[in-house]
């Protein structure tokens, strides 16, 4: 029931670019928090986690797959550029998360290699994979659509999502190579609440 509420709640926000949320200082987790999701995920370091393990940081999330040759390299570059623009004094309050839509190919070993290839192997970077079912569920929460169009390729939405420290959607940006000033401003605003 809780997940249904999350999906409906976040889907209704899909048409809005911004969704103002309560202060990150709130200690209770709202029904809209991704920390309510019970799904298990595996990191690039082969560690099992749940979303609630990320609580307390601002999350910047995108869904990609490592064998992608078109949109994903641009999304990865956008994430790196966003990370570079986060003020130094706030970087430890932000987690940049790349979630695979291709868990069959994107094993922890492959995600680790990809993180190193793309100079995204610092502590601020997290790569996640899970079952196909969990991945679909999480994509619905982020309003990311994807489908397999060939054995190696997916068609997918290009959305960068910002979650506050309580796991509530604070902002989404759609598109490739667009200005991410608003995204960086929202990340900074949410991270400053944690000082």
Render 92-127 in DSSP notation, one character per residue: GGEEEEEEES-TTT--HHHHHHHHHHTT--STTEEE
Check the annotation: does 13 bind a ligand. no
Between CA 19 and CA 5 the distance in angstroms is: 16
Residue 114 CA, distance from chain mean position: 17
Residues with Cβ within 8 Å of residue 168, at least 6 apart in sequence: 19, 21, 22, 30, 32, 33, 34
Q: Is 72 known as a binding-site position? A: yes
**189 to each of 61, 94, 111, 164, how far by Cα in Å?**
16, 11, 30, 10
Which residues are known binding-site members?
A: 68, 72
Q: Which residues participate in the annotated binding site for Cu cation?
A: 68, 72
């Amino acid at each position: 029931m809780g997940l249904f509420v999350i999906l409906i709640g976040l889907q209704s926000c899909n048409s809005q670019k911004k969704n103002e949320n309560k202060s990150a200082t709130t200690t209770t987790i709202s029904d809209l928090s991704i920390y309510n999701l019970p799904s298990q995920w595996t990191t690039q370091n082969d560690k099992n986690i749940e979303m609630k393990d990320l609580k307390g940081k601002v999350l910047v999330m995108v869904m990609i797959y490592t064998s992608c040759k078109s949109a994903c390299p641009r999304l990865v570059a956008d994430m790196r550029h966003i990370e570079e623009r986060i003020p130094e004094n706030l970087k430890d309050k932000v987690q940049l998360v790349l979630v695979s839509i291709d868990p069959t190919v994107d094993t922890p070993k492959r995600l680790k290699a990809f993180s190193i290839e793309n100079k995204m192997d610092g502590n601020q970077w997290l790569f996640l994979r899970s079952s196909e079912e969990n991945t679909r569920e999480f994509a619905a929460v982020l309003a990311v659509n994807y489908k397999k169009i060939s054995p190696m390729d997916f068609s997918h939405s290009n959305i960068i999502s910002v979650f506050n420290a309580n796991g509530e959607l604070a902002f989404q940006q759609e598109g490739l190579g667009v200005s991410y000033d608003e995204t960086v401003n929202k990340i900074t605003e949410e991270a400053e609440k944690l000082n």
